[in-house]
Amino acid sequence: MSTGGAGATPAHQPVRHLPVMFSEVMEGLAVKAGGTYLDGTFGRGGHARGVLAQLGPAGRLLVMDKDPEAIAEAGRLAHDDARVAWRRGSFADLARWPLADPGLDGVLLDLGVSSPQLDVAERGFSFGKDGPLDMRMDPDSGESAAQWLAHASEKDIADVLWTYGEERQSRRIARAIVARRGDAPLLRTAQLAELIASVMPRGDSKIHPATRSFQAIRIFINRELVDLEAGLDAALERLKPGGRLAVISFHSLEDRIVKRFMASHAKAPPANRRMPVELPFTPVLRLLDGAQKAGAAELAANPRARSAVLRVAEKLAAAGGAVAA
């Protein structure tokens, strides 16, 4: 969900929003005028408004987000357009929303952290702007990053940095965090970023030494990969035959989960010689266009789109035959 936007902006001010891979998402969803669509990561509504513009009077747009500022924006959109309904919460729970029970013609998940979240220092997502060490997408739920780092064991911290950030120096960083908190708590993003930088070996990497650690802690605090797996299952359950699932990921951990999920429902698993009988396989999804990346023009206007990967799949009829889009 990392998108281009203005700098730190008060919550009540509209943020200039450049939704990532907008044209590709609209093409992938193939919006039907009378359809029902769910945007599970509303953010500031860039993609959602694109869907809404293609819906007719009978169409419906359901939007979800954990972020209270995003939901406030969704509420304003719903106030102006009766076709819109909103729900605060994770897309992992989309199958529990009664409005989705009749079935969906499309689901969009734009993963990760959004530019408004990155650009507001008080949210604590960015090491580039000093702010409280929070990182929660829903600031009213769960532990903040500072609270977790204050009590987590050295092993647990190292495991999180390695598992969710693929940080090779995870043990060294974890050891430094535990040592530092013995003197004073880590409460600010700048404190953590400077500490990580101080123990990292010098190299020629173009990324900030704290990049992987901040990503890892954020993913862990927000249960992002757990929610992603649950959300993909829920989306498939609620999609109608012919409905489209479009997912934008921003790092390899997310994309790996999305790729494997779609492939597991679209392609028969490799033959297993140890199985006496080959199990029948009925595809549930049809993959569309493979992994898509942002084009050169978009990257020039919005450098944060460089890591975006879009995957789209269409749900097939129960009998396994393809459904016309």
pLDDT in tens, the chain (325 residues): 644 333 333 333 344 457 999 999 999 999 999 999 999 999 989 999 999 999 999 999 999 999 999 999 999 999 999 999 999 999 999 999 999 999 999 999 999 775 565 555 555 556 667 889 999 989 888 999 999 999 999 999 999 999 999 999 999 999 999 999 999 999 999 999 999 999 987 766 778 899 999 999 999 999 999 999 999 999 999 999 999 999 999 999 999 999 999 999 999 887 766 666 667 889 999 999 899 999 999 999 988 899 999 999 999 987 444 443 3
Cα–Cα distance measured from residue 118 to residue 104, given in angstroms and rounded to the nearest whole number: 31
**159 and 196 part of one domain:** yes
Q: What is the pLDDT of residue 12?
A: 37
DSSP string spanning 79-101? HH-TTEEEEES-GGGGGG-GGGT
CATH number at residue 30: 3.40.50.150
Three-state SS annotation for 9-38: CCCCCCCCCECCCHHHHHHHHCCCCCCEEE
**155 and 91 part of one domain:** no
Cα–Cα distance measured from residue 229 to residue 264, given in angstroms and rounded to the nearest whole number: 13
Domain assignment present for 131: no
pTM here? 0.86
Q: Which domain holds residue 150?
A: 139-221
Residue 15 main-chain phi, psi, to 5 deg: -100, 135
Which residues on neighbouring strands pair with residue 85, listed in sequence order?
62
Residue 183: strand, helix, or coil: coil
Cα–Cα distance measured from residue 130 to residue 161, given in angstroms and rounded to the nearest whole number: 21
**273 and 234 part of one domain:** yes
* Overall domain count for the chain: 2
Provide Rg for the chain, Cα atoms.
Answer: 21
Torsion of CA 216, 217, 223, 224, to 10 degrees: -40
Residue 82, amino acid: A
Q: What is the pLDDT of residue 252?
A: 92
CATH number at residue 217: 1.10.150.170
